[in-house]
Structure 1
Amino acid sequence: MRLSRYFLPVLKETPADAQIVSHRYMLRAGMIKQASAGIYSWLPLGYKVLKRIEQIVHEEQQKAGHIPMLMPTLQSADLWRESGRYDDYGQEMLRITDRHDRDMLYGPTNEELITDIFRSYVRSYKDLPLTLYHIQWKFRDEIRPRFGVMRGREFLMKDGYNFDLTKEDALHAYNRHLVSYLRTYERMGLQAIPMRADGGPIGGDYTHEFLVLAETGESEVFYDSEITDLTFGDREVDFDNVEQCQAVLEEFTSRYARTDETHDEALFNEIPEDRRRVARGIEVGQIFYFGTKYSEAMGANVQTAEGTQVPVHMGSHGIGVSRLLGAIIEASHDDKGIIWPEGVTPFHVGIVNLRQGDDETDAACEALYASFKALGLDPLYDDRDERAGGKFATMDLIGLPWRITVGPRGLKNGVVELTSRRTGESEEMPPEEAVKRIAAIYEGV
């Protein structure tokens, strides 16, 4: 993309109502615009990152054997009355009456709707196990929406639902999701710690939240510092292998890590003092096992091999797709702007032309741009007739992980400058070498 033809409404000043880093930088970088309290329009740059995050979630869900679908944003209140949650959910639920006086709601989650789908089509144990998921907009009428996309009213969420014959099978689905989520977050450049949590209005005896450590986190968290040394890395996991998934779960959950809702001071004090940590965390996902809570209430039964009817065991699993964008910025920024990890960056590399209109410099930039496009990479070429300082400030603010600077002085020596946004280190090299270096970085990302 050529920046002269892109819509990137960057701001020089920080909006007064932006309280945390991610909100400030998302507004300044022209990623979002507030439409009303807690509701945002996603402008082109923000939308690109949102779609990259969404794609990673899709890929990792399907690697784990989960099947994508799409459910509506509006749901019938009758389903929620059937499960018993319509009156219990509280004022966060946006309740609507249509022109025929039917009670509707803007879905905050989808346990009832997916259970209704399941009971309409699945009759036999032979159709299990089954995990369905979708990525869809949700609405929760927060009393005080704040912090931009971190605590908005409308948000994009992946929610998945497993259906299993037995508790043992359902707990394997739980473990499978935990492994899948660890892979998902690491691909986004995040370390998200699974922490013992409270089931809240969804319910369930087994639940873990995934939290990213950040000073601006809403939750107080307590953990053993050894857990921050764990990485999923390049390990290959067979998601059908019960023992393998269980081993990963035990590795990542055996050390103490809890939110303030489930914190146990006595257990925490058993950890050596030098490893005890108290910090703030941003929730970016949660997994639940809640057994037959919904299937019993809504008649979601299957026939067993012995011919008896039993309610299926269920769990649900959410990832805050739009919230992740803010969490990544909170975890990866400096005083100049955002620093995107390679896995989610809106553009793979920025090209800065230091002397727009100079024939040799223009030609070198065009050649770089064409080379990246030919490799299937997505460059952002700053071809504006602007001062060099303004171009560098824009690149730093929007946070592309790599920048190639092209100017007459370097071209006389046959080189361009490749700069890492994260470290600030620069290296001069021939243009062809810079292209190869960037291509190698993104191979397999």
Structure 2
Amino acid sequence: MRILQSLRFSLYQSNNSSHPSTICLPTTLFGPFNSSTQKRWKKPLVSAQTRLEDRTRDTQLDKLTTQLTKLDNIFKLHDLMSQRKRGPFVSVQIMSRWRKLAGLNVGIGAFVHHYPHVFEVFIHPVKRNLCCRITMKMLNLIKEEENAMKQCELETVLRIKRLLMMSVNGTLHVHALRLVRRELGLPEDFRDSILGKYSKDFKLVDLEVVSLVERDENLGLAEIEKWREKEYREKWLNEFETRYAFPINFPTGFKIERGFRDKLKNWQRLPYVKPYEIKELVRVRTCGGVERYEKRAVGILHEFLSLTVGKMVEVERLAHFRRDLAMEVNVRELLLKHPGIFYISTKGNTQTVFLREAHNKGCLVESNPIYDVRRKMLNLVLLGRRCTKELHATKESDSDNVVCEVKEDVKGDGVSVI
């Protein structure tokens, strides 16, 4: 220390002697004994974002999300094309304006040419410009999906009734149902074809609120209860172990830390208010209230995903049901706390949550008619530019027998109708 102090003093004198007109402050040398500020180790912040980044990835569900994003973009383009009144086709120049509306990262021309089994590009016989229309294969599958929705109409009514039975006041917003219309297998005009048709079951309180006329206690059995009964009978487990348990299926490569198994075992035994039970909500400030409240939210999310067609839904759309279903929690953080039950995929522009027990190798364990049709659509999209010889043969045969009639009385900025 004396040596360091002498060095500082000598430097201070040399600075003052060389520059007498200026005042030079003593310089502090670097060393382990002269640091005036103490640096403390800070515990890393654990939040929903950090858990999302550090989670164990499921490559199969991520791949499925990427494929379904392409199919969703095609559905958006089809909706935009069907809104045009000029005819069953649209010019590629007009479609280029829909890039942001369809959520595409590439140009419309490149996207359309990449899927020749879905989009048919041809030259207009009068305007001589590039036009696009949906192929007959895709149109037949869209009609098949509509027929499947009509056949499963009674099952769709039961889904909505169960959602209303899970809500606190027996009401839901129509706007929230409209956001998850495809996930629930609802038709586009479900307000008239479902809610208006079955007036004995549903009642419109306001223009945007639907309520349940009468509860049906036969529908009060959740899907998780069927799994618990099966586990109790087949595996001869104790009722105390399976009464409030959930199926756990961790992704490949999931690291189990010390003490995790004991915490999971205690959580599985923790009692909670089940989704369809009418009881007072658990007070958070009571003993074990936070854990029981969160487990009730997990049960509601599990039942909600079980009611969907593909056992998946976007995380942002779940936020529209938080108040009606009494889930005043951070939904994304709650989903990340239970990686053995739910999985969040960040592929695409949104975050999608999957029910892990319902999927196996990127497919549903138990399929349904609507899902089967959508799987056919996905397979048609995944063909890409393969197997296009048949398409060229059909185009040549159709071009020889085409008779064009142009309707000149229709006005607009689009292409003339043939």
Larger Rg: 2
* TM-score normalised over the length of structure 1: 0.23
Bigger proportion of residues as strand? 1
Higher RCO (Cα < 8 Å, 6 or more apart): 2
The TM-score, its normalising length taken from structure 2, stands at 0.24
